[in-house]
Amino acid sequence: MLNWLALAPIGTELAAEPPEQIERWLVSVLAGAFRGSPNVG
């Protein structure tokens, strides 16, 4: 539950982004998670 509260502001920012930008952001986050290191941006 706390995670969703923390991510709520990010959801409103993502809603304004084009789908391609969201996809690039998600791919970089997932790649960092699988590597074991944070990679945001």
Assigned domain for 27 exists: yes
Assigned domain for 24 exists: yes
Reported as a single tens digit per residue, the pLDDT across 22-35 is 888 888 888 887 77
Residue 19 CA to residue 16 CA, distance in Å, equals: 9
Assigned domain for 32 exists: yes
Assigned domain for 31 exists: yes
Do 28 and 41 contact (CB within 8 A), yes or no?
yes
Assigned domain for 41 exists: no
Q: Looking at the 3D structure of the chain, how many domains does it have? A: 1
pLDDT band at 5 (very low <50, low <70, confident <90, very high): low
Assigned domain for 10 exists: yes
Give the predicted TM-score (pTM) of the model: 0.45
Assigned domain for 15 exists: yes
The pLDDT of residue 10 = 74
Residue 32 CA to residue 30 CA, distance in Å, equals: 5
Do 10 and 18 contact (CB within 8 A), yes or no?
no
The pLDDT of residue 39 = 52
Range of the domain at 10: 4-36
| Sequence letter at residue 15 | A
Alpha-carbon dihedral sign for residues 16, 22, 28, 32: positive
